[in-house]
Amino acid sequence: MELRKKIIVTGAGTDIHSKATMLPVLIISLATFIIFFQGLMVAPLLPMLSAYFDTSVRHVSFIEPSYLLGYGLFTLFYAPLSDRMGRFKVIILSLLLFTILTLATTIVKNINQMILLRLLTGMGAAGVAPTTISWISDTYPYERRGHALGIFFGCMAGGTAFGSSVGALFSSLIGWRWLFVGVAAAGLAISVLIIVLRNWLFDASKEAIGSQKNILSSFHTILSQKRARWGYSYVMFNGMFHSGIFAWLGYFFYKNYGSNEMQIGLALLGYGIPGLLLGPFLGKLADRYGRSKIIPLGIFVGSLAVLLLSRQFSLAASCMLVTLLSLGFDLSHPLFAAIITTYSTNKGAATGLFAFFLFLGYGLGSLVLSLIVNIGLEKAFQLYGMCALIASAAAVFVFRKER
């Protein structure tokens, strides 16, 4: 009980003195880890699923935007709901829906059924990440929030990395259907863990705020701020950039280097490693030096990685550039998440909009690249890279006042 008092804090002005204080973040973020593991494990499987369902890679590629768009649209429903029902109930509800729908994906008979199940799974899973961000903003003061969000986004990055690598490896050994079964089992295990630890994790936070303010009014109030409009625009753009590129990286290695599923998984292992290993450090870096300096750097690093990838260097160099691309994400998105928590006292609405624009960007990014890929994958990468380069230069001005 005494340990719990030391670990859980409840708001602004409360300092956190021990590394143990971040343990609850790690536990709750396991749910985000497994959701991103499942969400990104399909990207390296496009060639295999294309052969399995006897359809084109382009047709199969729509399983990614369907999941992400479903996720993005329903974040607007879950995050404000957590203000009224409490963070625990929404996280568990969403995690259980994710688990059930992931298991249901194993019985699909064709690619269109899989696209539909991916859409529904995204809708079910949409409550976990934004509600966790709300819980973090309830629990940790702004000057320490970067550290907590670094752990959260590190778990997200870890799910991305292991989903795209371990997922591809396992699918080559046991088949894609059993891979989905394994993810569903992991989702159930994490649900049980959070339920067992509920009192320790959630009782001291603002478990049920009970706000009666009209949510549409809250959205309007937030978006009436010029600062918020710019912030959410960058959240959506950065999501479009990274999702569009990542959704096609598996095919990039398959086409240019003849990689099979296992080799693609190993090639993509670097995406997520910086966040997994350096997430807390990068969060502290932003807390110390300011988000105005780190965000433009992160977007620039991502743009540079993609422009170099389009040049088709050696396999080893391309694998290193995938890691550099991931570092660009880790230097930008966790920082956006910290900034948006200052837009409103209604944290559910603010984080709901963050998740909405993030996953709307994720879905649109992979969708747009799927639509323009006929110009050539390398040319599509170059187009995305140039847009990110311009955005990084503009970010110096846009975020100059952020601390």
- Structural domain including 66 reads 19-203+224-398
The pLDDT value recorded for residue 191 is 94
- pLDDT confidence bin for 214, thresholds 50/70/90: low
Residue pair 385/321 in contact (Cβ under 8 Å)? The answer is no
Name which of 344, 326, 313, 214 is nearest 270 in CA terms. 326
Tell if the pTM clears 0.85, that is, is over it. Answer: no
pLDDT digit string, tens, across residues 139-178: 777 666 667 777 887 787 778 777 777 777 787 778 889 9
Q: Which two tokens stand for residue 81?
A: 């709901």
Whether residue 218 lies inside any domain: the answer is no
Instruction: Inform me whether the pLDDT recorded for 12 exceeds 50.
Output: no
Whether residue 14 lies inside any domain: the answer is no
Whether residue 213 lies inside any domain: the answer is no
Comparison of pLDDT for 88 and 168, the residue scoring more: 88
Comparison of pLDDT for 7 and 157, the residue scoring more: 157
Listed range (38-52, 92-106, 294-308) with the worst mean pLDDT: 38-52
**What secondary structure letter does DSSP report for 90?**
H
Total domains in the fold of the chain? 1
Instruction: Inform me whether the pLDDT recorded for 20 exceeds 60.
Output: no
CATH code for the domain of 144: 1.20.1250.20
Instruction: Inform me whether the pLDDT recorded for 72 exceeds 90.
Output: no
- pLDDT confidence bin for 11, thresholds 50/70/90: very low
Between CA 160 and CA 172 the distance in angstroms is 18
The pLDDT value recorded for residue 233 is 93
Q: What is the mean pLDDT of residues 60-69?
A: 82
Average pLDDT, the chain: 81
Residue 106 CA, distance from chain mean position: 23
- pLDDT confidence bin for 208, thresholds 50/70/90: very low
Whether residue 323 lies inside any domain: the answer is yes
Instruction: Inform me whether the pLDDT recorded for 3 exceeds 60.
Output: no
Distances (CA, A) of 350 to 76, 131, 134, 309, 343: 10, 11, 9, 35, 7
pLDDT digit string, tens, across residues 267-326: 877 776 776 676 667 666 666 766 778 889 889 999 999 999 999 889 999 999 998 998
Listed range (19-23, 52-56, 373-377) with the worst mean pLDDT: 19-23
Residue type, 299: I
What percent of the chain has a predicted confidence (pLDDT) above 90?
28
Cα dihedral: 103, 104, 108, 112 (round 10): -110
The pLDDT value recorded for residue 8 is 40
3-class DSSP state of 403:
coil
Phi, psi of 152 (to 5 degrees): -60, -50
Between CA 347 and CA 352 the distance in angstroms is 8
Whether residue 214 lies inside any domain: the answer is no
Name which of 354, 356, 366 is nearest 123 in CA terms. 356
pLDDT digit string, tens, across residues 233-268: 999 999 899 888 887 887 888 888 888 777 777 787
The pLDDT value recorded for residue 124 is 93
